[in-house]
Amino acid sequence: MEKKQILVIEDEEDILALIHYNLVKAGYRVECATSGEEGLEKAASLQPDLLVLDLMLPGINGLEVCRRLREGHGGEAAIVMLSAKGEEADIVAGLELGADDYVTKPFSPQILLARIKAVLRRREQGPSDSGPLPVLSIHELVIDAGRNKVIAAGNEVELTLTEFRVLQLLAGRPGWVFTRAQIVDGVRGEGYAVTDRSVDVQIVGLRKKLGVCGAYIETVRGVGYRLKE
């Protein structure tokens, strides 16, 4: 199988060197860029499978790079953002611009590698919400989208339609972080009044009704929610 290509955009040279070393060791082809401009050029010419993108860059910052890439200047590369602690607003903005995941600094190379592998794996599988309505099974949780039925640890659970849709959205991409705005977007369109605030209320209700399986829904502080992989 051909090696996956990763483009790392990071201006701090010691961090860049650390990432480069670990990705090469893990068997990836790795290219580097130290500014947003250089990163965008290389993304366009190399068409990498994945980008590791630092948000704090001189010149064109990471969010702007992310936006331009998603407007079609860099192909369909997956994006894993690097951000400092306390940049939750930027993380949320990046995820909403179409970044796939993020790692906060300081991070261990193992964590970054694990995120990269997971993102590439999900990319290969494609979104699981295409095709006929699936039956999703995650640990002890079974979601039958065709029948609007949920079974948690062997017990059938009564959910409201909105709760069901929130759960279905999260379960469609286990491990994926959804921002509140993405959950609102995913659930809206069917005439339900859903707001950022009411997403939190739906989650509280869901966790309670799912019993032991409620713990599968994880809060990602300052960012949103995800279903445990």
The distance of closest approach from Cβ of residue 12 to Ca ion in the complex, given in angstroms and rounded to an integer, is 5
| Minimum CB–partner distance for residue 32 and Ca ion (Å) | 13
Q: Does 60 bind Ca ion (CB under 5 A)?
A: no
Is residue 56 a contact residue for Ca ion (CB under 5 A)? yes
CB of 209 to Ca ion, least distance (A): 43
- 138 touches Ca ion by CB under 5 A: no
Question: Site for Ca ion (CB under 5 A): how many residues?
Answer: 3
**CA pair distance 187, 166, nearest whole angstrom:** 6
Instruction: Mention every residue, 6+ apart, whose C-beta is less than 8 A from residue 198.
Output: none
DSSP character string of the chain: -PPPEEEEE-S-HHHHHHHHHHHHHTT-EEEEESSHHHHHHHHHHH--SEEEEES--SSS-HHHHHHHIIIIISTT-EEEEEEETT-HHHHHHHHHTT--EEEEES--HHHHHHHHHHHHHHHHH--TTSSSPPEEEETTEEEETTTTEEEETTEEE---HHHHHHHHHHHHSTT--EEHHHHHHHH-SSS----HHHHHHHHHHHHHHHGGGGGGEEEETTTEEEE--
Our CA angle for 29, 117, 46, nearest 5°, is 35
Closest CB 132 distance from Ca ion, rounded Å: 44
The residue (of 10 and 49) whose beta carbon lies closer to Ca ion is 10
Q: Tokens for 144? A: 């039958």
Closest CB to Ca ion among residues 15, 151 = 15
Which residue, 9 or 116, has its beta carbon nearer to Ca ion?
9
Question: Does residue 100 bind Ca ion (CB under 5 A)?
Answer: no
Answer yes or no whether residue 101 interacts with Ca ion by CB under 5 A. no
Smallest gap from residue 71 Cβ to Ca ion (A): 22
In the bound state with Ca ion, the residue whose beta carbon lies nearer, of 99 and 184, is 99
11 sits near Ca ion (criterion: CB under 5 A): yes
The answer to the question of residue 49 lying near Ca ion (CB under 5 A) is no
Nearer to Ca ion, 5 or 61 (CB): 61
For Ca ion, the closer of residues 11 and 163 by Cβ is 11
We find the least distance from the C-beta atom of residue 69 to Ca ion, in angstroms, to be 17
Residue from 54, 87, 100, 101 touching Ca ion (CB under 5 A): that is: 54
- Residues making contact with Ca ion (CB under 5 A): 11, 54, 56
